[in-house]
Each structure stands twice: as C-alpha cells, then as structure tokens.
Amino acid sequence: MRAKVSGIFPRQSEYRRSAWPAHSGNASRDMPGGRSIFHITSYSMKDRDKEVSQFLVERHFREMLKKDRKIHSAFLTAHSGRLGIHLDLAQGTTGGEPASLHQPYYIASVGKLFTSVLVAILSERGLLSYEDPAALYLDDEVTKGLHVCKGTDYSHDIRIRHLLNHTSGLHDYFEDRPAHGKRMIDLLLEEPSRFWTPRETVSWSKNNLKSHFPPGKGFHYSDTGYHILGLIIEKVTSKPFHEALSSHIFRPLGMAHSYLLQHSEPEIRSDCRVAGVYVGETDVVNFVSLSIDYAGGGIVSTSDDLLKFMESLVHHRIIRKDTFDGMKDWARFFPGIDYGYGLMSIRTVPFFMPRKYNAWGNAGSVGSFMFYHPVLDLYLIGTLNRFRYHRKAFRLMLKCIDIFSKAGHSS
C-alpha cells in the first residue's frame, strides 16, 4: 500500500525541559493503556538530557493517541547507540487485549525495502542486473500488454531499476482509479475472503488501468511494479516470494517473528495476536484479500525484528556498502522526499526542510515507518495501524527527531 507524504512536515517547535527523577539502570513503567521501556546506564547531566528527551517523546506519543480515538493501537521504537537510548512504546488494544511491546504488526509499504534488498542480494550474487529488462524473467502471460502508453507498447523496455524506484510508468493497482468499475480498495473490502495471486493482480491492473509514461521518463508510485519484482525474484530463486524472504533475510538475521501475511507463517509464533489494522471502523488485518500486498508490502513483523533488519543495512551485514549505495538511485517523490530502490530519503530543502531531518527508510499507508537518521545514529520504527495515517506517522517521526536532536547537541 502506498504512502503519500505531501503536507507532512511540522513547523519548528520548542519545548521546556521538564524535570525528571534521576536514576540509573534499566527502567520500565506502565501507562494507562500502554507500556514503555527505556534504558539508561549511569547518571550524569548528559544522561538527564537523555531521560528528558525520552520522557518528552513518550509524552508526545501518549498525548497524540489520547487526542485521536481513531487509533486503536500504536507502536514506537527509538534506538540510538550514539545517544545511548532505547525507547519502546506500545499503546492501545487488539481484540480487547492490551498492546504488547513484542506484538507483531502489518508494515505495509515498508516491506518494499525488503523486496529491494532481496533484489540487491541477487544482484551481488550475479543472478540478475538492475539493467536487465524485466521481460527477461517474465512469461508472455505477464508481459503481454503490461505497459501500453498512448498506443505504444513499452512492456519490453522496462528495466528492473525502473520498477525499484517507480520510474517505469506502470499503473498502480492500489491507488489508480479505473475508468469503469470499482477501485481495488473497494474490492478488498467487499470480498474479504478472496485470495489474490500476484498474476491476478497484474492482470487486473492491465485490464483496468492505464500506464502513465515511457520507462525512465517520470515518477509514478506503482505497487503493480513491485508485484513484477516479486515474480522476478521467484523466477531467479526458483522459490515462492515468501520462501525467498525467509531464506535470504528473515532466517539469516534471526527475524523469527516475521512473515508474509496470508502466504506464510513465522518461525516462532507470537503469544500476541497481530495488531489490528483499520480502514474506517473495520479491522482488515485478517482479511484474506490482504494477500494482494505480496512483494509491495505484505510483511508482518515486530519492532525488534525490524530493528535487526535496519541495523544489518546500516552496518552492511546483509548487503555490501557499495551495493547499498547503488540503491540510492533517487527519483523525486514529493518536495523533500526522494525515492530510490525501495528507499525513501528525507532531504534538505531550503526554507522548507532543515538538514536535521535528513533520514532514510520507508513508510506505509497504514502509518507504518522504519527510518534511520545517520547524524544521530537514530532508528525510528513503528506504526499507527490505520489506513491513510501516513502523514500523522511522519509528523510523529519528525517530532522525535526534533526532540532527540536537542539531546544529541548536548552529548
């Protein structure tokens, strides 16, 4: 599911340094409807700043949820080795059960970064190239009429790199409106027990939607394109996409609670049910129709597992540094946001986006986010579990950066 991020950036804000009791060691506390854990080792004025920053982030998180009753559950993890902080927050309920810090949740388009890393792994092993035509790995059933724009068929001109950074010109099955008939989101809600295969989804897109421009001539976010990437990965690995995820990413990184929704199961089943995801007042997380997200964002994970994944990228354990740098083939998404190979980059825009917010990662339409701030060595991971809440999630994340930046200046 796509995350549109226009209009997300907050004004500069100030806060008063609130007093917070001094202590050392690890601590946790229960809050109304939630739980938090924060870690501090020894106590000093710098540690006091760390504690104050964590307290302010937690207070902002709790107050945001208190004001917005449409959010049924939410999760936030903030981790920085440089600042010496680790904050885990969970609040709300699922099916009457209180949110847990280790609860699995649906990550939506954050999963595109997993798909792109899978492609990068296969590229490192010489099994494909970003410059390869996508049609090289697809059969005629998929390729025929895939990309027709203004009477010209560009289906054989799409390169793998075009799919990764949304410059293929392909339609987007999730957001684009068909000329006739119902939108895909309406079909998902009206037919919750329908299982969508990636081929069925691509076929629906070809039959109902129009392409936008020739490959490489613009930017148009396309979940359809990531379905094509999933099919390419299956062809190259000779495995279903969910098995490729498990064998190349989940198992090597010890992500035992992560899996592809409606396609597989986690290595270790959580004691907690998957957090609810709401469209209006309907919890859709158990809808079979969410099988449609596939390689574009169908992963269920936990904050702990997602932190493992991000640390493996930052420290170049899952792919080499030069490989990761090659994924930064940026296309303009929105003002202040560029898109690479499964990567969003928050960049500096004079008079609009200060340098202090520069970070990279990805986000989903349900308010999910997974970003790394290099200057602060800060990982921000979480979700609001509500469709169309991507803007609010971005504001939360940028507020966290704002607060932790002040602690970073004092350390």
Residue 192 sits in a domain whose CATH number is 3.40.710.10
Quick check: is 384 in a domain?
Answer: yes
Give the residue numbers spanning the domain of 151. 112-251
- The verdict on 95 and 154 lying in the same domain is no
User: Using 50, 70 and 90 to split pLDDT, how confident is the model at 70?
Assistant: very high
| pTM, two decimal places | 0.90
Kindly state the tokens that stand for 230.
Answer: 């999933």
Continuous segment of H or E residues that includes residue 360:
strand 359-363
Strands (E), 44-203: 73-80, 85-94, 97-98, 105-106, 148-149, 152-153
- The verdict on 94 and 129 lying in the same domain is no
- The verdict on 139 and 231 lying in the same domain is yes
- The verdict on 367 and 270 lying in the same domain is yes
350-376 pLDDT, tens digit per residue, is 767 778 999 999 999 999 999 999 999
Quick check: is 376 in a domain?
Answer: yes
- The verdict on 59 and 136 lying in the same domain is no
Paired residues of 130 in beta bridges: none
Quick check: is 370 in a domain?
Answer: yes
- The verdict on 83 and 186 lying in the same domain is no
Q: From 217, 251, 285, give the residue that closes a domain.
A: 251
Mean pLDDT of 191-208: 97
- The verdict on 270 and 224 lying in the same domain is no
Continuous segment of H or E residues that includes residue 283:
strand 282-283
Judged on CB neighbours under 10 Å (0-12, 13-18, 19+), 65 is buried
Mean pLDDT of 297-311: 98
Quick check: is 7 in a domain?
Answer: no
Name the residue with tokens 């009477």.
Answer: 151
Q: From 251, 281, 312, give the residue that closes a domain.
A: 251
Q: How many domains does the chain have?
A: 2
Diameter of the chain measured on Cα atoms = 70
Torsion of CA 129, 261, 206, 120, to 10 degrees: -10
- Give dist(CA 277, CA 185) in Å, integer: 14
Quick check: is 326 in a domain?
Answer: yes
Q: From 211, 227, 251, give the residue that closes a domain.
A: 251
- The verdict on 163 and 236 lying in the same domain is yes
- The verdict on 362 and 399 lying in the same domain is yes
User: Using 50, 70 and 90 to split pLDDT, how confident is the model at 264?
Assistant: very high
Residue 344 sits in a domain whose CATH number is 3.40.710
- The verdict on 379 and 291 lying in the same domain is yes
- The verdict on 385 and 349 lying in the same domain is yes
Q: Taking the CB of residue 60, how many other CB atoms lie within 10 A of it? A: 19
145-185 pLDDT, tens digit per residue, is 999 999 999 999 999 999 999 999 999 999 999 999 999 99
pLDDT number for residue 5: 42
Q: Which residues contact 407 (CB under 8 A, 6 or more apart)?
A: 49, 50, 52, 53, 83, 85
- The verdict on 240 and 270 lying in the same domain is no
